Amino acid sequence: MNKKVLRQLGDLQLGDLVEVRWLDASRGRLETVEELREAGAAGAEIDLPVTSYGVYIGAFGKIAKHIVLVASQWLFAQGYGQIDCTIIPVGTVENIRVLLPKLMDAENVRVCQQAFIHGRARRLMRRITIFGNEE
């Protein structure tokens, strides 16, 4: 794994607005070898450069670590909303750049983390209630 990226990841703070440059393994549609060659790519090349922006809420994963960015957050009503996350395998990352430190406050980061991990979370009177994964 890239030492520079690991250092950049270690320097991130929860809530930072970041730009992550990484390589996806999909072009979004099937292409013939002829189309790839016409575009100047060999048939075996599948690395697709991507730049993602979002608020860093942590690195998760039991086997392989993934950077999780909140790309969008909706608040439909008090205490009820939705988040849209971008999940990036750390091994595919080429560069991480902090655009704005601590854009999201710690409490909102915690709510987003719980929503991401457990599927749903709700904040009531400064306590977080988790929904999902009940056994």
* Predicted local distance difference test score (pLDDT) of residue 82: 80
Q: What type of residue sits at position 2? A: N
* Predicted local distance difference test score (pLDDT) of residue 117: 85
Which residues does residue 130 pair with via DSSP β-bridges, in sequence order? 121
Domain enclosing residue 16, as ranges? 3-131
Q: Does the pLDDT at position 77 exceed 80? A: no
The per-residue pLDDT of the chain, averaged, comes to: 81
* Predicted local distance difference test score (pLDDT) of residue 16: 98
Tens digits of per-residue pLDDT, 2-49?
Answer: 899 999 999 999 999 999 999 987 655 556 666 666 766 655 556 788
CA-to-CA distance for 9 and 6, rounded, in angstroms?
A: 5
State mean pLDDT over 48-62: 94
The fraction of the chain above a pLDDT of 70, given in percent, is 69
Q: Total structural domains in the chain?
A: 1
Query: 98 in helix, strand or coil?
Result: strand
* Predicted local distance difference test score (pLDDT) of residue 130: 41
CA-to-CA distance for 104 and 90, rounded, in angstroms?
A: 22
Q: What is the pTM of this model?
A: 0.76
State mean pLDDT over 48-58: 94
**pLDDT band, residue 131 (cuts 50/70/90):** very low
